[in-house]
Amino acid sequence: MDPLLIAGILTVVLFVLLAAGLWVSLTLMLLGLLTMVMLDNNAYGLIFATTTWGASSSWALTALPLFIWMGEILFRTPNMDTYLIYLQALVILIKMKTI
């Protein structure tokens, strides 16, 4: 297949999937799989599985959801008001020390 034709098809599929409301990560994953199928790669299943598992099994990926969850818990509890009052006092204290 001509590379320009493949690029055109993938661009159209990209915009259709995003306009349909699919998540960006899922859209890119489907486009990658479609690209491997269109390029006649016989081992696309093995390559796709290995790459997906390698990218998703990192411990660094666990920090972001836990950080967001911690922020959500702080936001929804009354402790946040106390925290902000102390933070404001600390900022004022630091400003006074630097002047």
First to last CA, the chain: 68
The DSSP annotation for 5-42 comes to HHHHHHHHHHHHHHHTT--HHHHHHHHHHHHHHHTT-T
Residue 36 is predicted with a pLDDT of: 84
Structural tokens at position 22: 């699919």
pLDDT digits (tens, 9 = 90+) for 52-79: 888 777 777 778 888 888 888 877 888 7
Are 31 and 22 a contacting pair, CB within 8 Å?
A: no
Confidence bin at 37 (pLDDT 50/70/90):
confident
Query: DSSP state, 89?
Result: H
Are 28 and 49 a contacting pair, CB within 8 Å?
A: no
- Section 94-98 average pLDDT: 85
Confidence bin at 31 (pLDDT 50/70/90):
very high
What's the mean per-residue pLDDT of the chain? 86
Output the pTM of the full model: 0.51
